[in-house]
Structures are given as structure tokens and as C-alpha cells.
Structure 1
Amino acid sequence: MVPLELLVSMAASGILIGTAVLSAVLIVLLKPLLVRYALARPNARSSHRVPTPQGGGIAVVGACLLVAGAFMWNTDLPANGFLAVAAASVMLALVGAVDDIRPLPAVPRLLLQVAAVAAVVVASRVRVLPDAVPLAVEQALLVFGGVWFVNLVNFMDGLDWITVAEMVPVTAFVAACGLLLPDLRPAALVAATLCGALLGFAPFNKPVAKLFLGDVGSLPIGLLVGWMLLELAGTGALAAALLLPLYHLMDATITLLKRLARGEKVWEAHRSHFYQQATTNGFTPLSVSGHVFGLNLLLAALAAITLIWPSWPVQVACLGIGAVLVGLLLSHFAKPRLKSPA
């Protein structure tokens, strides 16, 4: 008989490839409409220089949810958590689609995000903190963290390939964990489909990008990945769940704190993220995304170590090493590149 692990691995590979193909096909079909109705025109805060269609996230999120839903429909995987996150993701995609065409006021947009994240947190029923912490307090903290994560993924989606460079390693890692952690398999399935959908999107977004995700993609992707990381943390792998998105967490959070200290309106667009400073300082978009991708492979390796050796000293050490590695890259991005002598 074929071992169960091999069957699961083969199924995951087929799901990833199939979702990648579906995502690419949907992009080809949708692109004429996006060129006509959803052009992102450059401004002083943009990283692009020519009008570029946005809305590729429709294909990415659509392919992800369609394939994951079809697979769950034909298997005995529990779908309750998935149904909640899928519905919430569709809602955020609609919010993002409207915002891409005509920017929404900050307050209604935030309230809709809170509602979507709260629905996912309640449906997930995951406990991350010790049982001594009241459930209501923990869920409130998770909603706050989830809303921040959704927004930081949106904030960080401002450069060609950077979301692919961040989210492909994260989703691939969670998908692989499904081979070892049966309780994680619903989230691992969605991780595999989202990974495949992003790979299908990648050729269209490579520098210089011919297509952007748009808020219709970045907001639900933030919600989906946040849910996967919450489910991963619920298995006891909290350190791994923190390590995987650590570059995005540190870049966005440090930038927010610096802007708050300067008294800036943090809800307004800007170009002060470290990855944006890097392009100003002489890094090409491909170089920035390449650095982020390489760092994320190292963070994934540290996350794997915390799963193999789950003692708290190892987890603390890996988190410390991860924070140092991210700090070094942020510092590297913040410094102008030395020009080679003529």
C-alpha cells in the first residue's frame, strides 16, 4: 500500500499545480477588464511609474477558495473553520474591490475588517494563551492582532513580487506542516491552494509588473494567512507562527511606531517602509524581493527547528535569531547602496 503521507504529499502537489494554472487562466481572462476599469495610476508615493492594472487578487483569492472548497466538499476534512474564513475573505475582497476603484473612508473600512477578523477568530476556537487568561480577553487580543495583520499585509503590498516573496514561503511551510499535524490539515489545504494561486500570479507581477494584486487581493490574503498562522499556533507552534511572517511584522510595526512618533496620519499613504526606503537607496525591486525571499527561507528554517525541538530555550533562541536577521536586513535597506567606482 502507498503510505498515507505520500498520498497526502502527492495530493498537495497536484492541488498546488492545479491552483497555479487556474489562477493564471483567470488572470488572462480578467486582465482586459482590469486594464479598462482598474488602472492604478502612479503618484508621488507609488513604486511604479506607468499606469498598471490592479485586481489580480480576484484570480488569486478566487482560485484559492474554489479549489480548497471543491477538495473539502469531496473529502471528510472538517470545513467549519474554512467556511467562516472563506466568507470573511470574500467580504474583505469586496471591500478591497470598492476601495481599489473609489477609496473608502477609514472608519467603515476598519469596522468591516474587525467584523471579518472577529468571525474568523470565533469560528476557529483556537486557544493560544494559557487557560488562566479568560477566553473573551484572548479573543479580543486575537481580533486586534488579526486586524493589524490584515492591514500590514496590505501596507507591505507595495512593490513588485514582494507579497509573493513573503507569502509563498509562509504558505508552503504551513502546507508542509499538514503532513505532520493532522489537526492542521484544513488550514494546510488552504495554504497549498493559496501558495499555488500566488505562483500562478507571480509571472504577471514580476518586475516590471504588468499586474498588481490590489486591495481586493491583499486584504483577504492577509486574513487567510493570519488564519493559517492562528491554526498553526493552536497546535502549540506559537514560535513558528511568529517567525514565519516576522519580516512583514517588524517592517510594518516599526514603521508605524516611527510615524506615530512623528505625529503623522498613519492611515494615509506613504513611502517610509523599509522596503520602500530600499528602492530609494538604490536597490532594484527584484533585489528587494530577492532579499525578502531569502530571509523568509531562513525564518522558515528557524520555524522548522522550533517544531523539531519544541523546548522553550530553543524557541526563544530561534525567535531572537530571527529578530536579529530581520533587523540586519531592515538596516541594510535603510542605508544607501555604495556605487561601484567608474
Structure 2
Amino acid sequence: MLAYFSTVPTWAVLLLVAFAAAGVCCMILWTLLRTGLAWRLATDIPNDRSLHYAPTPRVGGWGMVPVIVGATLLLAPDLWCAALGTAFLAAISQVDDRRGLPARVRFLAHLVAVAVLVVLFPAEAPWWILAILSVLMIWLVNLYNFMDGADGLAGGMAFFGFAGYAAGALLSAHPVMELAVAAAIVAGTAVGFLLFNFHPARIFLGDAGSVSLGYLAGAFGYWGWRGGAWPLWFPILVFAPFIADASVTLARRLLRGEKFWQAHREHYYQRMVRSGMGHARTALTWYAVMLTGIMLAVFLLGRPATFQGCAVAVWVVVLCLAGVVVDTRWRRLQSTLSDN
């Protein structure tokens, strides 16, 4: 299919694909809202752990997943396994959105989708490295779901993250064109979703969307490493803000003996919203941080390994300092409220 665009600059092809994906996704979501079907598919009812106050349809995945799966199978068929894995997880997650599923059932589905990809398309690495990567990919599936709790946040992270994947796959010393196209498709659908999700959100992503995006973040990161487009640190650096927030929050809850899968409001982004920044400013702040990390990741491709390691370490320190700032601001707010 891409052969028809052989005379068009590659960057123009990616932009065309992204715009088309955004348009189709936007049209699907607009139709769901206009017809009222969005409310019947899945609705998020606010509770004491929510950051919103009105019932809102959770149908973002209904606009994004069909476009991602269909366009990937058509334009990037090498990634058929990732596309079908996305469809599988979206179907399981939609059942969870409507009726609820036990955590063990959801985890088994995540394990199957990741294992099938790694088994059918193994990288040239020892089995224990592939096992560790599989665990990290399963964690990505879940953390994206954990981080879907503020207007514009998860959708914006999807746009920047997968746009970063597209740039990395295209600009690498070993380009992987189909991966760049597939990533551009996902980034485009994220734009179509954001038109309805940026504050004040008219729709939410829902598990069908967040779980699918988490899986694709891991699957595409693995595919790029397997194909030589980037080293292992690249996808981690691209999604570093998401990974850091969810991982630190999980660690804290485990140390307190709490059930990490239960809904809560302890993530850094939730504290930022609740401390007065609001949804829009919080999302824009995260966009700036993630864009900076992505630009650094793309810049580091092809640089000496020692330089890469030092730069990644510096960025980790920057993210840790940002977390300290958020924690300090939150403690001051809590102290002020308790004094009053």
C-alpha cells in the first residue's frame, strides 16, 4: 500500500496518515455523541476518588481502536500481531467497562497479548531478557490505565509518545518505515480523541482505549528495539513521565500494604489538579515535560553509548526533582488545610 506514495516525502506520508486517522476517529466519536450511543456503551459515574463531577461517556477507545487496527493492517501489515492484540484487549476491556471483570481475568488477557507477540516475533536476545521485557510491557498496559484520570492527559501523552516513536523510527540509523506509519496512525487518533477530551472533557478514554494504548506503547517499543531502530532506553525515555508517576505511586501503595489496583487519587498528576493547577494547566505541564524528554530521546539516537547513558541519567534526576516539587506543594497545601 505504501508503494503508491513512493514519490512523496516520507514525512509528508506520515502527516497524511496522521491527519486521516484523526479525521476518521473524530467522525466516529462525534457520531457516538450526536446519536446518544456514547452514553449507552459505557458511562463513567463520579465517585469520591474521581477528579470530575458529572457522568461522562467512556468511549474514546471506540473511536481510536477501530482506526488503529484497520489502518495498521492496511498500511503496516508487518505489525498485524500488535494490531490484533490491540483488538483483543479492547474487546476484553469493553466488557470490563460495562460489567466489570476480576483483576485476574484482565491480567491473563494482558499476559496473552504480550506473550503471543514476543513468542511469534522473538528478538535476538536471551530468553530471560525477553521475559523481563514481557513483564515491563504488561506493566505498561496497566500503568496507562492507571494514568487515565485527568482531562487531556492520557490522550496528550499518546499523541506525543507515539509521535516520538514515529520520529525515532524514521530518523534512526536503521529506519523501520512500517513502525513509523503505525505510530503516526496512533498519534493521529489521539488528536481526534483530544478534540473531545481536553478540558472540559466531553468523553473519557475508558479501559478499551487506555489498555490498548498501553499495550501499543509496549509493543511498538519492543518492535523498534527488535528491528534495530532504537536501544532499550528509547521507549522508556519517551514515556518516562507516565512510567515514573505510576511506578512511584505503586511502590508507595505497596509499601503501605494497600491494594494498588483500587482507584485512588495519589498520582502526581492528580495532586497537581487537586492542588489548584486544574486539568488544563496540569495537562499542558505534562505535555511540555514529555515533549522535552522525547526531543532528548530522538537527539540521543546514534550518539555514543556513554553520552546516551549520562543524558538519560540527567533526565531521570530532572524527573525526580519535578516529583519533589509536586510533593512539597502537596504537603504545604495539606498543612494549610489542616491548620484551617
Corresponding residue to 1:251 among 236, 242, 245: 245
Residue in 1 that maps onto 2:316: 323
CA distance in 2, matches of 1:243, 1:300: 7
Q: Tell me if the contact between 1:93 and 1:219 (Cα under 8 Å) persists in the aligned partners.
A: yes
CA distance in 1, matches of 2:266, 2:109: 26
Residue 5 and residue 252 in structure 1: after superposition, are their counterparts in 2 closer, same or farther (change >3 A)?
farther
CA distance in 2, matches of 1:28, 1:96: 22
Residue in 2 that maps onto 1:200: 192
Q: Tell me if the contact between 2:46 and 2:55 (Cα under 8 Å) persists in the aligned partners.
A: yes
Q: Tell me if the contact between 1:85 and 1:227 (Cα under 8 Å) persists in the aligned partners.
A: yes
Q: How far does residue 39 in structure 1 lie from its aligned partner after superposition? A: 1.3
Residue in 1 that maps onto 2:151: 160
Amino-acid identity (%): 30
Residue in 1 that maps onto 2:165: 174
Q: How far does residue 8 in structure 1 lie from its aligned partner after superposition? A: 1.6
Residue in 2 that maps onto 1:103: 100
- Answering whether residue 236 of structure 2 is matched by residue 239 of structure 1, we say no
Q: Residue 157 of structure 1 aligns to which amino acid in structure 2?
A: D
Q: How does 1:178-189 map to 2 (within 5 A)?
A: 178-181=169-172, 183-189=175-181
- Answering whether residue 41 of structure 2 is matched by residue 49 of structure 1, we say no
Q: Tell me if the contact between 1:177 and 1:184 (Cα under 8 Å) persists in the aligned partners.
A: no
Moved over 4 A (4+): 3-6
Q: How far does residue 180 in structure 1 lie from its aligned partner after superposition? A: 3.1
Residue in 1 that maps onto 2:24: 22
- Answering whether residue 137 of structure 2 is matched by residue 143 of structure 1, we say no
Q: Residue 145 of structure 1 aligns to which amino acid in structure 2?
A: L
Residue 40 and residue 8 in structure 1: after superposition, are their counterparts in 2 closer, same or farther (change >3 A)?
same
Q: TM-score, normalised by structure 2?
A: 0.90
Q: Residue 10 of structure 1 aligns to which amino acid in structure 2?
A: A
CA distance in 2, matches of 1:15, 1:223: 21
Q: How far does residue 319 in structure 1 lie from its aligned partner after superposition? A: 1.1
Q: How far does residue 6 in structure 1 lie from its aligned partner after superposition? A: 5.4
Q: Tell me if the contact between 1:122 and 1:139 (Cα under 8 Å) persists in the aligned partners.
A: no
- Answering whether residue 95 of structure 2 is matched by residue 62 of structure 1, we say no
The count of aligned residue pairs is 323
Corresponding residue to 2:221 among 215, 229, 238: 229
Q: How far does residue 270 in structure 1 lie from its aligned partner after superposition? A: 1.0
Residue in 1 that maps onto 2:268: 274
Q: How far does residue 164 in structure 1 lie from its aligned partner after superposition? A: 2.3
Q: How far does residue 83 in structure 1 lie from its aligned partner after superposition? A: 1.4
Q: How far does residue 93 in structure 1 lie from its aligned partner after superposition? A: 0.2
Q: Residue 217 of structure 2 aligns to which amino acid in structure 1?
A: V
Q: TM-score, normalised by structure 1?
A: 0.89
Unaligned segments of structure 1, at least 5 residues: 73-78
SS in 2 for 1:122: helix
Q: Residue 53 of structure 1 aligns to which amino acid in structure 2?
A: P
Q: How far does residue 174 in structure 1 lie from its aligned partner after superposition? A: 1.4
Q: Residue 188 of structure 2 aligns to which amino acid in structure 1?
A: G
CA distance in 1, matches of 2:62, 2:18: 18
Deviations 1:224-275 (A, max 9, x none): 1111111233324222222101111111111111000000011211111111
Residue in 2 that maps onto 1:76: none
58-67 or 177-186: which moved more? 177-186
- Answering whether residue 112 of structure 2 is matched by residue 119 of structure 1, we say no
Q: Tell me if the contact between 1:153 and 1:222 (Cα under 8 Å) persists in the aligned partners.
A: yes
Larger helix share, 1 or 2: 2
191-200 or 313-322: which moved more? 313-322
Q: Tell me if the contact between 1:188 and 1:228 (Cα under 8 Å) persists in the aligned partners.
A: no
Residue 152 and residue 228 in structure 1: after superposition, are their counterparts in 2 closer, same or farther (change >3 A)?
same
Residue in 1 that maps onto 2:296: 302
Unaligned segments of structure 2, at least 5 residues: 334-340
Q: Tell me if the contact between 2:39 and 2:57 (Cα under 8 Å) persists in the aligned partners.
A: yes
SS in 2 for 1:284: helix
Q: How far does residue 277 in structure 1 lie from its aligned partner after superposition? A: 1.4
Deviations 1:39-86 (A, max 9, x none): 1010011111100111111111211222222224xxxxxx34x11111
